[in-house]
Amino acid sequence: MSEVRNKSELNEEIKRLYSIGLQTKCAGRSLEDIAGLTARINKLKKEKNAVICAHVYQIPEIICGIGDIIGDSYRLAAESRNTNAETIIFCGVHFMAETAKILNPEKKVYIPSLKAGCSLSEGITAEDVIKLKAAHPGAPVATYINTSAGVKAESDVIVTSANAEKILRKLYEKHEKIIFVPDKFMGLNLAKSLGKTPGKDLILWNGSCIVHEHFDSKLIKTYRKNYPGIVALAHSECPSEVINAVDFMGGTGDMLKYIQNTNASAYLLITECGLGELARIKFPDKNFIAMCRLCPYMKSITLENVLATLENPMPEQEINVPADIADKARRALDKMFELGI
């Protein structure tokens, strides 16, 4: 049913992919190979009334070839609520798909890879949050979106890289102490921006992202020497030494906006490699140097496993959240939407 019918259909798809900026080869694979898969996926999406959410760390073939809702964690969560499709296929990691399910309980949500976890999400449990709350009674829990539904359910408000500082600032209007989990580096960066003392007014958890914790701040100096005028941007999950050495810190959405609104001779992107690949496609006239690392979880999603999920999903690929946990987690997510981006 979903087979690409003839050569001219395939050529049309190749042309479409080329015109949106995919090169004739992506990661050593020909555009013809890619087009065969994207054309089948795009047909199946229509037949099955499905929509594809794609995080900006996904490979360009997924973002540009089959993505319908594309963005950072905030945008994907917010926009998943506006689709009329019955099914959401999530090209990102498990906590993102789970968030989409919590926000859209009536829809079917699938994750194409069972390996698409996240070190931050896996580094904390609901019980850990319950213990933190008992140790710091009255302190609200602001939880980074990179967490499980169970952790979200024990939280007062969810934040993303796009709104954490703004939401914490609002919480500090009414509270002296806040619990922020699970990313210790983001927590330390927030404490610095907000003028708060970690361990005293901002209680942190010892979680980290396996991609962002390993960047080397010393290399930034070398890049600056080799590329005069370069502007360095780092994700807020990076350690403080990296953040102190760059010109801009933010989430992936903020980084793309910054690039759009500025005119540097070149940009050094310190984050997962997918953002640099996307930036090159979105801003073909700008120069990018990627000091990047791959996220093995994000990169476990492929065109092949997306196609297989659409054709014949395995029961384990469907995201389900018990109703009582989903209700509590949704309250914390709604609080985020209320406090704004």
Binding site for ligand SF4 (CB under 6 A): 93, 118-120, 146, 209-211, 237, 272, 295, 297-298
Please say which residue, 151 or 298, places its beta carbon nearer to ligand SF4: 298
Residues 6 or more apart in contact with residue 5 via CB below 8 angstroms: none
Q: Which is nearer to ligand 13P, 42 or 143 (CB)?
A: 143
Asked if 252 is part of the footprint of ligand 13P (rule: CB under 6 A), the reply reads yes
Among 237, 276, 306, 310, binds ligand 13P (CB under 6 A): 237
User: Longest Cα pair distance anywhere in the chain, in angstroms?
Assistant: 66
| Contact call for residues 318 and 109 (beta carbons, < 8 A) | yes
143 binds, among ligand SF4, ligand 13P, none (CB under 5 to 8 A by kind): none
How many residues bind to ligand 13P according to rule CB under 6 A?
11
Tell me the closest approach of the beta carbon of residue 237 to ligand SF4, in angstroms: 6
| Least Å from the CB of residue 332 to ligand 13P | 16
Mark out the alpha helices in 104-250 (DSSP H runs): 119-122, 126-135, 149-153, 164-172, 184-194, 217-226, 240-244
Nearer to ligand SF4, 48 or 115 (CB): 115
Residue 72: name its binding partner from ligand 13P, ligand SF4, none (Cβ under 5 to 8 Å by kind): ligand 13P
Find which of ligand SF4, ligand 13P, none residue 160 binds, CB within 5 to 8 Å per kind.
ligand 13P
Choose from ligand SF4, ligand 13P, none: what does 116 bind? Cβ within 5-8 Å by kind. Answer: none
Could you give the CA distance from residue 185 to residue 46 in angstroms, rounded to a whole number?
A: 42
For residues 42, 66, 285, 290, the Cα torsion angle rounded to the nearest 10 degrees is -150
Q: Which residues pair with 108 in a beta bridge?
A: 87
Give 98 or 272: the residue with its C-beta nearer to ligand SF4: 272
Among 65, 67, 123, 251, binds ligand 13P (CB under 6 A): 251
Contact between 255 and 235 (Cβ < 8 Å): yes
Residue 210: which of ligand SF4, ligand 13P, none does it interact with, CB under 5 to 8 A by kind? Answer: ligand SF4
Site for ligand 13P (CB under 6 A): which residue of 87, 146, 147, 163? 146
Which of 154/237 has CB closer to ligand SF4? 237
CA distances from residue 241 to 219, 220, 244 in whole angstroms, order as listed: 11, 10, 5
Among ligand 13P, ligand SF4, none, the one that 161 touches (CB under a kind-dependent 5 to 8 A) is ligand 13P
CA dihedral sign of residues 220, 226, 231, 235? negative
| Torsional class of 180: left (φ above 0), alpha (ψ -120 to 50), beta (otherwise) | beta
* Phi and psi torsions of 155, nearest 5°: -105, 160
Map residues 278-317 to x or -, x wherever contact with ligand 13P holds by CB under 6 A. Answer: ----------------------------------------
Q: Contact between 73 and ligand 13P (CB under 6 A)?
A: yes
Q: Is 160 in the site for ligand 13P (CB under 6 A)?
A: yes
Residue 238 interacting partner from ligand SF4, ligand 13P, none (CB closer than 5 to 8 Å by kind):
none
Tokens 């964690």 belong to residue: 73
* C-alpha span between 310 and 155 (Å, rounded): 33
DSSP labels, 98-129? HHHHHH-TTSEEE-S-TT---HHHHT--HHHH
Nearest-angstrom CA–CA distance, 157 and 168:
10
Positions touching ligand 13P (CB under 6 A) are 56, 72-73, 146, 160-161, 209, 235, 237, 251-252
